[in-house]
Structure 1
Amino acid sequence: MMVALVIGITSGALVLGAWIGVRGWLSERAEGLLVAGAGGALIVSVMMELIEPALDVIGLPGTAGIVLLGAALFSAADAWTDRHMARAGGLGLLLAVTFDGVPENLALGTALIGTGPLGVAALAGSILLSNLPEAAGGAASMREDGESGTRIILLWTAVAALLSISALAGRWFLADVPDGTVEAITCFSAGAVLASLSTEVFPKAGRQDPHLAGIAVALGLVVALSLEQLG
């Protein structure tokens, strides 16, 4: 039940965000602040739920190496997106969300293996807060490019379905793998998520509200840290 609820909420945020973007209900400033807060929350969740548990299993050198590998591969994919989708507007953002969301949701699925409810809530909540404004901004851009509202919703729904499959794969197919495998995968996902924060999330938040973005990041971090301590 928890698996279906968490995955439904985080992936459903993409569809809800796309709908909000098509309607034009989210201002750029509000979008930037939400993204910044989500980024701050993700820093805590990634470190405490994905990276720290791996230290006791695969050690510091292995953990560091796999995190860096995940960051490097995401950055390479992001660079390819920038080169080949530079004029794609909302479609480019949709692709970027897909690159970002697959490792995030794989990490979410693996986090559901043996993690307490509050720990899962911290990670899922930060992903939700990131997905909603990203989808809203991408959908709004696609609308400005002349895409129909129906096509926009269908495209983002397809992405949400893909991300749900990624989370289910992380939860069900990695439950019985040997010790260290899940930790290695979560570290790889953590690296990709951290790279996405530096290339997609924080620069965007800074552009849309350069004065309050730092406060929003700190607020998101404090909220996620508070959830972790309650757990």
Structure 2
Amino acid sequence: MLAALGWGAVAAASLLLGTLLALGRRWSPGLVGGVLAFGAGALISSVSFELAGAGLEVGGPVAVAVGVAAGALAFFFADRAVERIGGRNGAGTGGLPLALGALLDGIPEQAVLGIGLATGEGISIALLVAVFVSNLPEAIGSASDMRQAGTAKRRILALWSAVAVVCVLATVGGHALAGVVSGDLKAGIDGFAAGALLVMLVDQMVPEARDKAGNRAGLATVLGFAVAAALSNLA
């Protein structure tokens, strides 16, 4: 259990690191866009190799497909709720969709880390690297947008600290429940994270990266994918 807590904290630390980097200096829109594009590429790699691919290895395609659909719907409706809250308050959502995406994909991703530890598979270095590399741009992009929208630094740090704590607890929860998690359920968890990520990427992260970084976004995305894929396969 202590190992799950420790490794979960390592993975979630990138969320706080990205937040502190965003709050420590003013980031130009072009730089934020480039960071988001790099992160989008890393997340596409994560979906391909560490989530959908891993899910198909431990469970059936139906379990993965159901998980993908559930994750996609969860992000879609949660994102609409965030937009409605922002509209009622007379303010933009200012980076909240990226924080929501980090939460909805972070919980199942880190639960899988905990399950692997408890079942004797050890820590998946590939997944750990993918989580760490992709978390940084999400946190930087979201915290920068929230700061630009006028949100107090204290509130931004509190939000991302809460997301990080929930993700750490998900690792511990995965470790605790590993004994009752079947292969199909683990595949569904992987699929849920993949589905939430894909909707967030298409609806939020990629359009914002393109808007801020212009035609450099595509190159940065490919670079992020290549780096994450290489690290994943090396691990």
Question: Normalization by structure 1: what TM-score?
Answer: 0.82
Match of 2:73 in 1: 72
Query: Separation in 1 of the partners of 2:127 and 2:219?
Result: 24
1:81-117 deviations in Å (ceiling 9; x for gaps): 2233244446x53365135423323213304513664
**Matched residue, 1:202:** 206
Structure 1: segments with no counterpart, 5+ residues: none
- Report the residue type matching 2:130 in the other structure: L
Task: Decide whether the 8 Å contact of 2:63 with 2:185 is kept in 1.
Answer: no
Q: 1:120 to 1:99 in 2, by over 3 A?
A: closer
Partner of 2:133: 126
Report Cα offsets for 1:25-53 as digits up to 9, x if no partner: 32221111111111111111222111123
5+ long unaligned stretches in structure 2: none
Whole-angstrom CA distance in 2 between matches of 1:84 and 1:151: 17
What residue in structure 1 maps to residue 110 of structure 2?
Answer: 108
Q: Which residue of 67, 92, 95 maps to 1:93? A: 95
1:189 equivalent in alignment to 2:193: yes
Q: 1:201 to 1:223 in 2, by over 3 A?
A: same
Give the direction of change, closer, same or farther, for the CA distance of 1:32–1:150 in structure 2 (3 Å limit).
same
Partner of 1:14: 15
Tell which deviates more after alignment, 13-22 or 26-35.
13-22
CA contact (8 A) 2:45 2:229 kept: yes
TM-score by length of 2: 0.81
Runs of 4+ in 1 over 6 A off after TM superposition: none
Partner of 2:95, secondary structure, is: helix
Q: CA RMSD in A?
A: 2.7
Which of 216, 219, 226 is the equivalent residue of 2:220?
216
Aligned CA distance change for structure 1 residues 159 and 125 (closer, same or farther; 3 Å): closer
- Alignment-derived partner of residue 59 in structure 1: 60
